[in-house]
Amino acid sequence: MKKTLKTMNNWSMIFVMIAMVLIIITNTKTVNAETIEMEPNNNFQNAQEVVLGEQYNGVVEDVEGVDDEDYFKIVLKEGQFCKITVFNLEDLKEVKWETVLAELCTDSNTGNAYSFHASYRESVTKLFRASYNGNYYMHFYNSGKTKYSFIVEEYNPVGKMVKDSDSNLYVMGVVIHRKNVVIEKDAFKGCKNLGTLRVLKSASVKTVKKNAFKGTKKGIRIEVPNVKKYKKIFKNAGVRNPKYSKSYM
């Protein structure tokens, strides 16, 4: 009987220890929100898929003359906006640090306008609008050694003022797919390349506040479910010589 009780006590202790280990592991995952890159990811085919809103850390290192590259896959829908921030994580203790070099590209197009150069302990943020449904890639490269971090977050410019003048130039079209949207004052101020605003048939704009489109170019194409109704809504929005048409999507 004593032997049986002793055995049961031993098993109880083992179960308690396992439970404690599981609690520690769970808490560690909760605290550590950053994700480390998974190798191999040195080409489009092996690119690690990015979860929007999650931060990723990585290292690009030239080993014995062979350049290292890291690719991360971002899945976006046409018209979807995202904010991409790249950080340089180089430590002052390092003998030499390099500029983090990165670009946002497709699998058939590298070296495009969306490039990121982050110097020592610097961060660079840019806005991007997807032009099609599918995969986009963050490509990190350098002939030396760099430590980087980046985060891709969904961004809704409607109702917000875009403060970065460089990012404003990348806003060329907006698709509204939600109901009862309010476009705030100065929401698209300075977006000089904005050419199209589309309100889907399943969506609606409740209010467009004064000068929401101040500083945009003339002749913006505005596709809306009801042209007569939306002309009144956009009357004081700051659009110059807009071209209205009915949206069929």
- Triad 61, 67, 71: Cα angle to 5°: 80
Of residues 69 and 96, more confidence is placed in: 69
pLDDT at 132: 81
Of residues 23 and 112, more confidence is placed in: 112
pTM of the model: 0.55
- Triad 197, 201, 207: Cα angle to 5°: 60
How high does pLDDT run on average in the chain?
75
Of residues 113 and 48, more confidence is placed in: 48
Yes or no: say if 195 and 172 are a contact pair by the CB < 8 Å rule.
yes
- What the block records as the tokens of 19 is 């439970």
Q: Which pLDDT tens digit goes with each residue over 50-88?
A: 999 999 998 888 776 677 889 999 998 877 888 888 888
Q: What proportion of the chain, given as a percentage, has pLDDT over 90?
A: 12
Yes or no: say if 109 and 29 are a contact pair by the CB < 8 Å rule.
no
Q: Which pLDDT tens digit goes with each residue over 196-239?
A: 888 888 888 888 888 888 888 888 889 999 999 999 999 888 88
List the one residue out of 63, 50, 71 whose CA is nearest residue 141.
Answer: 71
**CA end-to-end distance (rounded Å), the chain:** 77
> Length of the chain in residues, anyone?
249
